[in-house]
């Protein structure tokens, strides 16, 4: 594993552990976070504020990494992101591109389908209503 892929993995591990401060230490001050089709966030302060919104006990973020590859300046990920909102566990597939500078993430760009996010919500609500303990996996076969 390259140091850049280790950095990206460490950032996601910190976010899963609700440790936004540790994740922020792995970002440059001028980081750009782009969720394609949503507004782009610029600067560590803005990104940290947004991350704090999704790392609360009532609204939790996790990422299940399926593939990660990179060199010293670029990392590509294929993963399932999981947002837990109270009893709802919403899962959706994401591809991410990370650019690193001086060992820190300077660009975090995620690509996902809003249709997959909507399907994740529908599936989560269905599981909550039916009471099924099964979890779907939305990563492509």
Q: Does the active-site annotation cover 71? A: no
Give the N- to C-terminal CA distance of the chain in Å, as an integer.
24
pLDDT per residue as tens digits for the range 3-35 = 999 999 999 999 988 899 999 999 999 999 999
Tell me the sheet residues that pair with 56: 59
Any idea what the Cα angle at residue 112 is, between residues 133 and 72, rounded to 5°? Answer: 110
Domains, the chain, ordered by start: 3-130 (3.10.450.50)
Confidence (pTM): 0.81
In the set 30, 81, 102, 116, the catalytic residue is: 81
Q: Is 45 helix (H, G, I), strand (E, B) or coil?
A: helix
Q: Does the active-site annotation cover 110? A: yes
65: pLDDT strictly greater than 70: yes
């Amino acid at each position: 594993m390259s140091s850049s892929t280790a950095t990206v993995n460490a950032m996601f591990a910190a976010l899963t552990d609700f440790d936004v401060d540790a994740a922020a230490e792995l970002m440059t001050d001028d980081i750009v976070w782009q969720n394609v089709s949503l507004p782009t966030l610029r600067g560590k302060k803005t990104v940290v504020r947004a991350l704090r919104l999704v790392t609360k006990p009532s609204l939790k973020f996790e990422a299940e990494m399926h593939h990660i590859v990179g060199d010293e300046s670029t990392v590509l990920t294929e993963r399932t992101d999981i947002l837990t909102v109270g009893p709802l566990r919403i899962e959706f597939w994401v591809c991410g591109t990370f650019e690193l500078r001086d060992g820190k993430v300077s660009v975090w760009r995620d690509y996902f389908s809003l249709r997959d996010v909507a399907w994740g919500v529908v599936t989560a609500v269905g599981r909550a209503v039916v009471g099924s303990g099964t979890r779907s996996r939305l990563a492509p076969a």
